[in-house]
């Protein structure tokens, strides 16, 4: 039997053009499930990966399949990846229209958990956004429901609880650890929430500009007076970009710009010439280059505290 399947594999390799066919994500998930015997949890973004991993420890295998260089909110998984989602034991979605791809495919309903369902009535609708493009995903618009839900740390905590409930159902044997880990995670999120809330008393004095419209929930919870342009950290600030900014600044005398990632030195200097300083608040929708969700969020809050002393 083994010999026969080996023969088939060889044949498949030959047919595929004389090189080993790359393993698809679905095959990897199936192989890993077979090897470890652990339930497979697939997630829509990095914050959910972090929450699920911290909460479940090694009781499950958590997989986040979006490429590192893409915004998971505008990601279009290929067919093999969609199959991997369909075969998962649990699918953790962000909700708030985060995974546009999921509208067009059938996922096993009983396995899908919308982690923002608890605050579904309190989502923000964005109306005046125009289309723009960044990354390999092509043109997109931020019109519709704002989806960066977790940078309101109260909402992040509710999402962590939804992850926890789903995991406890999936692996009841690990229930005690799950509940302990959830409390620890929620405590840390609460500290971030408190620090931002304290800061919000000072923040109300500062009109702010965001480089990209992803801060709606942060602005709502912590009272930021925020308007947005449609830039990326590596956008070259040419005449058009600075023109867009000047339109915003005309009625909104901001002196700070919030960036998703470290802006280039050139951009910092161009903004400084307009009287704007730069501060980074990374929403961390994808895996960070260093550290993890919590260390990135702590750095965000620290940067804000330092900027608005
Ligand atoms: Zn965008």
Tokens coding 242: 């600075």
Residue 137, pLDDT score: 61
Domains identified in the chain, total number: 2
Instruction: Split the chain (309 residues) into runs of 10 and give each run's mean pLDDT.
Output: 52 47 69 85 98 98 95 94 97 97 95 98 85 69 91 98 98 98 98 97 91 96 94 86 92 95 94 95 97 98 95
Tell me the CA–centroid distance for residue 65 and ligand 1, in Å: 20
Query: Is 156 a member of any domain?
Result: yes
Tell me the CA–centroid distance for residue 179 and ligand 1, in Å: 36
Residues 82 and 103 in one domain: yes
Residue 20, pLDDT score: 47
Residues 73 and 163 in one domain: yes
Q: Which of 56, 188, 178, 48 is nearest to 114 (CA)?
A: 48
Give the burial string for 145-178 (b: 16+ CB within 10 Å, else e).
Answer: bbbbbbbbbbbbbbbbbbbbbbbbebbeebeebb
**Backbone φ and ψ of 215, nearest 5°:** -110, 20
Residue 93, pLDDT score: 98
Residues 259 and 298 in one domain: yes
Query: Is 41 a member of any domain?
Result: yes
**Backbone φ and ψ of 231, nearest 5°:** -110, 165
Tell me the CA–centroid distance for residue 43 and ligand 1, in Å: 21
Tell me the CA–centroid distance for residue 286 and ligand 1, in Å: 14
Q: Classify residue 104 by its DSSP letter.
A: G
Tell me the CA–centroid distance for residue 150 and ligand 1, in Å: 17
Residues 71 and 167 in one domain: yes
Tell me the CA–centroid distance for residue 230 and ligand 1, in Å: 7
Residues 170 and 229 in one domain: no
Residues 203 and 74 in one domain: no
Query: Is 141 a member of any domain?
Result: no
Residue 17, pLDDT score: 46
Residues 161 and 197 in one domain: no
Orientation of helix 46-56 relative to helix 175-203, angle to 10°: 140
Tell me the CA–centroid distance for residue 13 and ligand 1, in Å: 40
Residue 1, pLDDT score: 43
CATH number of residue 64's parent domain: 3.40.50.1980
Name the residue range of residue 67's domain.
17-120+149-175
Query: Is 6 a member of any domain?
Result: no
Residue 149, pLDDT score: 98
Helix (H) or strand (E) holding 114: strand 112-114
Tokens coding 162: 């939804």
């Amino acid at each position: 039997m083994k010999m026969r399947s080996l023969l088939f594999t060889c044949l498949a390799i030959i047919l595929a053009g004389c090189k080993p066919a790359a393993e698809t994500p679905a095959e990897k998930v199936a192989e890993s499930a077979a090897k470890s015997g652990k339930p497979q949890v697939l997630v829509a973004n990095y914050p959910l990966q972090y929450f699920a991993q911290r909460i479940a420890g090694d009781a499950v295998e958590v997989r986040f399949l979006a490429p590192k260089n893409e915004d998971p909110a505008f990601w279009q998984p290929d067919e093999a990846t969609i199959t991997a989602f369909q075969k998962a034991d649990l699918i953790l979605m962000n909700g708030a229209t985060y995974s546009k791809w999921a509208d067009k495919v059938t996922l096993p309903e009983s396995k899908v958990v919308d982690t923002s369902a608890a605050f579904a009535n309190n989502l923000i609708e964005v109306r005046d956004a125009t289309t723009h493009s960044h990354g390999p995903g092509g043109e997109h618009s931020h019109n519709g429901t704002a989806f960066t839900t977790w940078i309101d740390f109260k909402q992040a905590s509710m999402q962590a609880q939804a992850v926890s409930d789903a995991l406890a159902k999936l692996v009841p044997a690990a229930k005690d650890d799950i509940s302990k880990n959830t409390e620890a995670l929620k405590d840390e999120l609460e500290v971030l929430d408190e620090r931002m809330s304290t800061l919000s008393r000072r923040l109300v004095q500062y009109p702010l500009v965001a480089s990209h419209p992803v801060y709606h929930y942060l602005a709502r919870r912590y009272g930021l007076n925020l308007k947005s342009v449609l830039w990326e950290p590596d956008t070259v600030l040419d005449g058009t970009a600075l023109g867009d900014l000047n339109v915003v600044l005309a009625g909104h005398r901001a002196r700070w710009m919030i960036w998703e990632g470290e802006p280039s030195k050139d951009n910092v200097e161009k903004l400084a010439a307009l009287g704007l300083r730069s501060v980074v608040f990374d929403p961390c929708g994808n895996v960070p280059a260093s550290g993890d969700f919590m260390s990135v969020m702590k750095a965000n809050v620290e940067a804000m505290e330092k900027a608005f002393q």
